[in-house]
Structure 1
Amino acid sequence: MKLSARNQIPGKIKSITEGVVTAEVVIELDGGGDLVSVITRKSVESLGLAVGKRVYAVVKSTEVMVAID
């Protein structure tokens, strides 16, 4: 599959916490650090997501903030 989003960050699922409608998916990034996504439970099921599965975090945004201390 090809996407127009430039930010496709590889990693593996570290944890999935399911709620009534949504699920919090924590992705351990290959380059270090974690990224958290909240998606629907239906999406978790249809994608067959499970802890340890290889995935891509895809970020498409018109605004990305940069901050310093």
Structure 2
Amino acid sequence: MKLSARNVIKGKVTKIVKGAVNSEVTIEVAGGTQIVSIITNSSVKSLGLKKGKEAYAVIKASNVMVAVD
């Protein structure tokens, strides 16, 4: 797999919550950090995502927001 994105983080799928059109997919990465993504149900199916399967969180963004209390 070759990608232009610089942030590719390997982890395991811990949860998939299916909706009418999209699914919320949670990937647990090193240190127990969880990354959540919303992808289409057809993408979940074509990638064969299931709880316990290894997957990559690929992050490519033009900006990142920062906030404090």
TM-score, normalisation: structure 1: 0.91
Question: Structure 1 stretches of 5 or more lacking a match?
Answer: none
Measure, in 2, the Cα distance between the counterparts of 1:10 and 1:32: 12
Q: Which runs of 4+ in 1 moved over 6 A?
A: none
Distance 1:68 1:29 in 2: 24
How far apart, CA to CA, are the structure 2 residues paired with 1:68 and 1:56?
28
Paired AA for residue 4 in structure 1: S
Aligned residue-pair number: 69
> Structure 2: which 5+ runs fail to align?
none
- The match for 2:15 is 15
Q: Where in structure 2 are the equivalents of 1:32-51 lying within 5 Å?
A: 32-51=32-51
- CA drift of 1:64 comes to 1.4
SS in 1 for 2:32: coil
Q: 2: distance between equivalents of 1:31 and 1:57?
A: 15
In the superposition, the TM-score normalised over structure 2's length comes to: 0.91
Distance, in Å, in 2 between the alignment partners of 1:23 and 1:67 is 26
Higher helix share: 2
- CA RMSD of superposed structures (Å): 1.2
Percentage of pairs with the same residue: 58
Amino acid at match of 1:22: N
- Paired with 2:64 and 2:31, the residues of 1 have a C-alpha distance of 19
